[in-house]
Structure 1
Amino acid sequence: MDYINFNAEGMNGCAEKKNNIFCSTFYPKMTQKEKCSQEKAQDEDDEEYEDEDDEDEDAIQCNAMSREGGGQKAWKFCAVILRALSLVEWVNKRRRIMPFVDALFDALNSVDSATGLEPSVPDGAIVSSQVANAESKKLQFTGDVLEVATQFLVKKYGVGILTDANEVLAELSAPESASFLSQLRTKRQSSSDYSNPPSGQVCQGPPKSCFDPVHDRIRSITGYCNNRDKATQANAVTPIRRLLGTTSYSDSLQAIRNASVTGSPLPSTRLISNKLHDEGSTPNFSPSVNHLHMQIGQFIAHDIIFMPSSVAKDGSNLNCTSCSSPTTVSTNCAPIPAPSDDKYFTPVSKTEARCIRLTRALNGQSGFGVRTQIDQNTHYLDMSVVYGSSDCEAQNVRSFSNGLLKTYTGMGYALPPQTKNDTNCQSKNPYYCFTVGDFRNCLHPGLLPLHTVFIKEHNRLAVKVKSARSSWNDEQIYQFVRSIMVAQWQHIVYNEYLPKLLSDKYLTDFKLKTMKPGSGSFRGYDTGMNAALSGEFAAAAFRFGHSQSRQDFARQDATNKSLGAYDLGYNIFYSDQVYQKSLGGTETMLMGLIKTAAMQVDRYFSFPIRNQLFEIRGQNASGVDLIAVNIMRGRDVGLLPYVKYRDIVGLPKVQNWNDLASTFTAGNIAALKTVYADPADIDLYSGLVMETPISGGQLGPTASWIVAEQFRALKTGDRFYYENQVQNTVGFTQDQIDAIRRVKLAKIFCENTDIITNINVDVFDLNSNQVSCSSIPDIDLKWFL
């Protein structure tokens, strides 16, 4: 192992060869006398660096010794670390700093030299809905090294050293501290070039200033500069936050929680799914909420939540199918054991158990300490699901003509633009998948009607704007329409979607209600509010919608006649359903969502959700159990057990099973006892979906609190929230705000489909009266033009 020795006795110079990385980096202001001699090195591997001049008392000598003969490489590594950490300022504190540098160096070698692990798999061989992009992959290497370095430090010095370690990191220069390890890896592993987009584009980078006029009026694609005081907060590829400020790992750092408070092992999450969450043969449908509510909920989730999965060292997906994959493939594998008597995920053989594949969420930690997860999308409610969360994604969906977004019209009706490069797409020519702002658009066919409608709505408004302002160029029209689209979307979420989910008490207490036309603007913008997603929301509470999903997705025509249904489990990452022109394409699918009931929000989940997610047609057990994954994801990201969150809601503490009686039915408590040894073990996800719903809402008290808290943060922490009027920000006028407040999702459906002429006046209410589309007012652009 390479060993670094810092000698601060004075500058003995550096006789490095030409282009000396150390000298050029650390002594740009050296006098000529102090500059490195350009003498040719005699031995690149064992060279010592000396100079005759020792007058500079503030300079340092960096000697690299190698226990395994890596002198020159160690020297260069030393120089890069020195530059990144700005150690020149810390010469006199070298003894304090050395443990951290040693730990980083050892961690780097440990991560890079792991042999026999992380075999890459061909694109498309492992289907995943959480594929990391280039920016996320850059963070993973840094995060993995810092995770290992943290383990080294804690093992040797104890957890108390982490405070000192992060004090050092806190004083780094931002650009270097954020990227030094990924830059170093580029030097050491030139073959690993996955960090750069194929085109050479920079897909995501900070602007020069958050106070230029552009950021007064335009929401950035990446989320940069939304909060001008904290420019990167809640933008794409940034960390999630924790409601309780802490995590639950078995080693307090990164190891997945695996033991009960009694000392016995925690149950497999597949076992929990089988015993607690199997709907059996009697599906429970909602009496009042339609299937569209589920689908809009998933669209919201895809707008704000994208927690990417870890990747192999070459940037490919990890194959975490085998039960042994944590030791044979990657420590970022966390396969879920299936019980030996499992009826679907049966044992591979008499001697080999079956596991359900799961890759740990990508580690984006930027300091010493606990493993940290990131959101690859912007955290804001900003229609990134349509427009993208990086400049590259945004460019891919634009036509760059008259402000329009791209479409595909080869079927005689509009669809999103096709792509032949989606490695997750299981459909073959001619049923290509599509390119939109979020690559999960083909996760299942029910998403495509919404993607299509919102693309068409953007283009409909763009045509109107071009007609009214013929002198405007493409960029002006695009940004103008995008701002209106985001405003409409936010209004739909807060005015129509959330009131069907949360009780009036939570809407009122968390100030989630929209204001009526003519009632002024919202004055609640708070620069101190962190709009970033909480891990509890992203990895647990907002996954309640999986309970709403039916197995059968209906098609209906304009007369409400059934045109059959397609099976969810048979169509994960298959797009052929939207090409069925004889069945009405996406429009009859949209009508089916409106006119059929959602599943009741409870502890039961449909067969495809529990058994067939990502399944390849004809290959049983080739997919995953989404509910087992949800529970395991909670453990992966360090969510605390359910009972720990009751305090923030004001619920009684839980000391024994009887203490759950106020929020759980007797039947649900009995069911929990069959899998958990103690109520303190209950996983957050299972606890949330098993709470008794509050009157007037679909969720129990703890889930309601977590969801409401998040949407409050997304509202009060968003400088561009549509009802805002904020100083030094060009928002909407009062007339424009009132025009947006009159928008209805039903009208957007009417204007962007051919078959819908009558629609539910309350678009999420299964029993709502239908009204003529012509009776619903359209957004009045006269207030905007």
Structure 2
Amino acid sequence: MFLVLSFKALASEKLTGPDILFSINTAKRLVDQAYKLYRERAKENLRNPHLTPSDFLRHLKEPVAGTRTAIRAASYMETALDLLRQKLQKVWHRRFNITDVLSIQQKDMITRATGCDYLIRPVRCPQNSPYRTITGECNNRKHPHFGMSNHGYARWLPAEYEDGVSLPKGLIQGQLYHGHPLPLVRQVSNEIIGTPNEKITDDQERSLAFMHWGQWVDHDMDLAPMTETSIQNQDVHCDTSCNYTPPCFPIKIPPGDPRITKPGVCMPFIRTTPVCNPTTFIREQLNSITSFLDASMVYGSEEPLARSLRNQSNSLGLMALNQNFTDAGLGLLPFESNSNSICLYTNRTANIPCFNAGDKRVTENLGLTALHTLFVREHNRLARELKVLNPHWDGEKIYQEARKIIGAVNQVITFRDYLPLVLGNEMNKQLPLYKGYNDSEDPTVSNVFSLAFRFGHGSVPPFVPRLDQNFKPLVPYSNVLLHLTFSASWRIIMEGGIDPLLRGLLADHAKLMKQNQMMVEELQERLFEQLELIGLDLASLNLQRGRDHGLPGYNAWRRFCGLSEPSDEAELAAVMGNSQLAKKFIDLYGTPENIDIWIGALAEPFVPYGRVGPLLACLIGTQFRKTRDGDRFWWENPGVFTPWQRRILSGASLSRIICDNTHIQEVPHDVFKMNHYPSDFMKCSEIGGLDLSQSDEN
């Protein structure tokens, strides 16, 4: 105790107000220089004729607008704290955490001077606004930052870092956890995950639309951006470095790797960007989009992006469409304005850039692009119909009303059609009937959910099916290998538009996640592979991401959910229902306590009628309950819509949206269940639609 008090006294003496301000100003200068260098280097990289798989991943996670400001503030704070630590280290030669010795006044000074006080500034919310803000701010009037974009993920359990503050577990070789070292993530991937493309099992009860809707919903709720800016070592290159040099946390390759045999090679990995944490200064990750189910992937989570996505040529409340191409007369998404668009590199002769949408990941795969296109068309269809019914409305009113309906429809489809097929028998337990808005419920997406909801990676098949009007393979474009469709916007323009893709989603199978078939080779070995370049391993990325985020291990989350905690191989075998798999886990991790949350949760047998195990059912169900109950604009909350409007919205369906916005004329009633053509399909005329005639009763 005496040592702590004497150190605090020393810190107070050595870190005066001017000292702290000098460190902050130095930090700002270093950070600004690093960001300038990074931007120049990124531009130079895009002139390179051969992009790496990491370049594609960077593009999908690249921060925009206000996210960049939030990231820079966090960098200012992190760098200033590091400079202050270095200053004290010269006179205090023991190990310490700088945050333990700063006074409340000193912390407040750092928070304000770095701009990190944006997280805690008081907000005055309007009393009677009928529409959501784009950023999610003021959804909760008591806690205006709940669920807002560019804030940190929620923590349901405390973070576990190597140093208690920011260093990821597994960083120090030989370090023991519960008496055992952590295995290399690539070793776990090799021994438990990998499945050759030709050895997968089709899911006989879930369609490809089921898999894609999961990703669609995920992209509505969370995006953890990353930036390769290095403050302390500006010569670091995460593509080539095998050393831990922030922000690089390279994935080391185990001996005898089946694919990567060259010595001294690592798989690149960039840490998720931290967010300011003015309370404890412990590293937290930034969620750059809103936590609400509000269709932010259509409209954006920041005002400048939202405005740029609208059709500014008239006052009809429409979304902007592509000015160069149509899809057999129907609208396509506009192109992004970047002259070095990464999509140009997937087909140099086509010269087609990436599409622009409310979420940066729009062109990650073709099914996702098809859903984005579908909902922008649906917005415009609704806007035109609302204008006819309400000719006195201006463009802003039409835009907001159409946006409100699109958000509600996504909520209906997700809770009525999608989640019951995920959670199975656990649905009613995890998501009891809606009882109304609860302003004490925090809907902020949790850090663990950002990993748990990646369960869908186990249901991705290796091929992208495209079907013709008769639901037969579209020759010659059917069944392209998945890795050849990443960021390939040109395939939408030049290979038949979105109709063939949507038919494939309706009439083809999702992959069945099995304990011996967890992830296809296309994702585990060829992620973002283009041409001859070595692809990334999505399983290794997921495992490394969990450690990057400081997520506790498998048993900690079993305890959180009130489930049993296996303590040895026999008990783990009972939980997994698989003694061979349990042995693999124990051989790798030594104890169930150490198993990385993503792989441990994914490996559990499904709950009855679901597609996740008990642990994932708990984590996913808990998040969606908070997302629903903590949303003031939830479609069922009285006052958001009239009773008549709620009755109409309850009948909304993805089938009808497809009918209304494509040339497809036959659809199944339930798109997420596996359907066979023609026996399980019906004419569009048999599918009910939304009656907007009483869209506004005020």
8 A Cα contact 2:251 2:268, kept in partner: yes
**For 2:220, which of 287, 303, 308 is the aligned residue?**
303
Q: Residue 211 of structure 1 aligns with which residue?
A: 126
**For 1:757, which of 641, 650, 665 is the aligned residue?**
665
8 A Cα contact 1:310 1:363, kept in partner: no
8 A Cα contact 1:132 1:311, kept in partner: no
8 A Cα contact 1:294 1:598, kept in partner: yes
1:252 deviation in Å? 0.8
Equivalence map 1:369-384=2 (5 Å): 369-384=281-296
1:759 deviation in Å? 1.3
What is the letter of the counterpart of residue 579 of structure 2?
A: A
Q: Residue 509 of structure 1 aligns with which residue?
A: 429
Say yes or no: does 1:168 pair with 2:99.
Answer: no
1:602 deviation in Å? 3.6
**For 1:135, which of 66, 78, 81 is the aligned residue?**
66
Q: Residue 358 of structure 2 aligns with which residue?
A: 437
Q: Residue 191 of structure 1 aligns with which residue?
A: none
**For 1:266, which of 169, 179, 182 is the aligned residue?**
182
Q: Residue 523 of structure 2 aligns with which residue?
A: 609
1:103 deviation in Å? 6.4
8 A Cα contact 2:543 2:599, kept in partner: yes
Question: CA separation in 1, counterparts of 2:291 and 2:235?
Answer: 24
Q: Residue 247 of structure 2 aligns with which residue?
A: 332
Question: CA separation in 1, counterparts of 2:29 and 2:421?
Answer: 50
**For 1:403, which of 317, 321, 324 is the aligned residue?**
317
What percentage of residue pairs aligned between the two structures are identical?
27
C-alpha spacing 1:248/1:104, structure 2 compared with 1 (3 Å): farther
**For 1:180, which of 113, 116, 123 is the aligned residue?**
113
Q: Residue 452 of structure 1 aligns with which residue?
A: 373
**For 2:603, which of 674, 678, 690 is the aligned residue?**
690
C-alpha spacing 1:438/1:183, structure 2 compared with 1 (3 Å): closer
Q: Residue 4 of structure 2 aligns with which residue?
A: none
C-alpha spacing 1:136/1:116, structure 2 compared with 1 (3 Å): closer
Question: CA separation in 2, counterparts of 1:317 and 1:377?
Answer: 31
Q: Residue 741 of structure 1 aligns with which residue?
A: 650
1:770 deviation in Å? 1.7
* Secondary structure of residue in 2 paired with 1:724: coil
* Secondary structure of residue in 2 paired with 1:598: strand
C-alpha spacing 1:698/1:467, structure 2 compared with 1 (3 Å): same
1:442 deviation in Å? 0.6
Question: CA separation in 2, counterparts of 1:536 and 1:684?
Answer: 8
Q: Deviations over 1:511-535 (max 9, x none)?
A: 355xxxxxxxx54211111111111
C-alpha spacing 1:141/1:100, structure 2 compared with 1 (3 Å): farther
Say yes or no: does 1:238 pair with 2:151.
Answer: yes
What is the letter of the counterpart of residue 342 of structure 1?
A: D
C-alpha spacing 1:319/1:571, structure 2 compared with 1 (3 Å): farther
8 A Cα contact 1:403 1:475, kept in partner: yes
Question: CA separation in 2, counterparts of 1:356 and 1:93?
Answer: 43
C-alpha spacing 1:304/1:440, structure 2 compared with 1 (3 Å): same
Say yes or no: does 1:495 pair with 2:422.
Answer: no
Question: CA separation in 2, counterparts of 1:530 and 1:334?
Answer: 31
Equivalence map 1:560-639=2 (5 Å): 560-563=471-474, 564-581=478-495, 584-603=496-515, 604-615=518-529, 617-621=530-534, 623-639=535-551
8 A Cα contact 1:595 1:766, kept in partner: yes
Say yes or no: does 1:364 pair with 2:275.
Answer: yes
**For 1:675, which of 580, 588, 591 is the aligned residue?**
588
C-alpha spacing 1:403/1:549, structure 2 compared with 1 (3 Å): same
1:122 deviation in Å? 2.6
Q: Deviations over 1:711-733 (max 9, x none)?
A: 011100110000002xxxx5111
Question: CA separation in 1, counterparts of 2:235 and 2:143?
Answer: 33
1:491 deviation in Å? 0.5
Say yes or no: does 1:644 pair with 2:550.
Answer: no
Question: CA separation in 1, counterparts of 2:14 and 2:143?
Answer: 28
Q: Deviations over 1:723-756 (max 9, x none)?
A: 002xxxx5111111111001111111111111x2
* Secondary structure of residue in 1 paired with 2:588: coil
C-alpha spacing 1:333/1:100, structure 2 compared with 1 (3 Å): farther
1:265 deviation in Å? 4.0
Question: CA separation in 2, counterparts of 1:577 and 1:317?
Answer: 37
Normalized against structure 2, the TM-score is what?
0.85
C-alpha spacing 1:218/1:178, structure 2 compared with 1 (3 Å): farther
1:142 deviation in Å? 3.5
Question: CA separation in 2, counterparts of 1:458 and 1:783?
Answer: 18
Question: CA separation in 2, counterparts of 1:298 and 1:601?
Answer: 16
Q: Residue 683 of structure 2 aligns with which residue?
A: 772
8 A Cα contact 2:207 2:510, kept in partner: yes
Gaps of 5+ in 2: 1-8
Q: Residue 718 of structure 1 aligns with which residue?
A: 631
1:339 deviation in Å? 2.7
What is the letter of the counterpart of residue 784 of structure 1?
A: S
1:631 deviation in Å? 0.4
* Secondary structure of residue in 1 paired with 2:423: coil
8 A Cα contact 2:425 2:608, kept in partner: no
8 A Cα contact 1:222 1:378, kept in partner: yes
Question: CA separation in 1, counterparts of 2:390 and 2:299?
Answer: 23
* Secondary structure of residue in 1 paired with 2:466: strand
Question: CA separation in 1, counterparts of 2:32 and 2:695?
Answer: 61
1:112 deviation in Å? 5.4
Higher helix share: 2
1:406 deviation in Å? 1.1
* Secondary structure of residue in 2 paired with 1:486: helix
* Secondary structure of residue in 2 paired with 1:448: helix
Say yes or no: does 1:247 pair with 2:159.
Answer: yes
1:101 deviation in Å? 7.3
* Secondary structure of residue in 2 paired with 1:749: helix
8 A Cα contact 1:310 1:318, kept in partner: no
Normalized against structure 1, the TM-score is what?
0.76
C-alpha spacing 1:302/1:313, structure 2 compared with 1 (3 Å): same
C-alpha spacing 1:634/1:590, structure 2 compared with 1 (3 Å): same
Q: Which has the higher contact order (CA 8 A, sep 6+)?
A: 2
Q: Residue 471 of structure 1 aligns with which residue?
A: 392
Tell me the C-alpha RMSD between the 2 structures: 3.2
C-alpha spacing 1:648/1:122, structure 2 compared with 1 (3 Å): closer
8 A Cα contact 1:311 1:362, kept in partner: no
Q: Residue 344 of structure 1 aligns with which residue?
A: 259
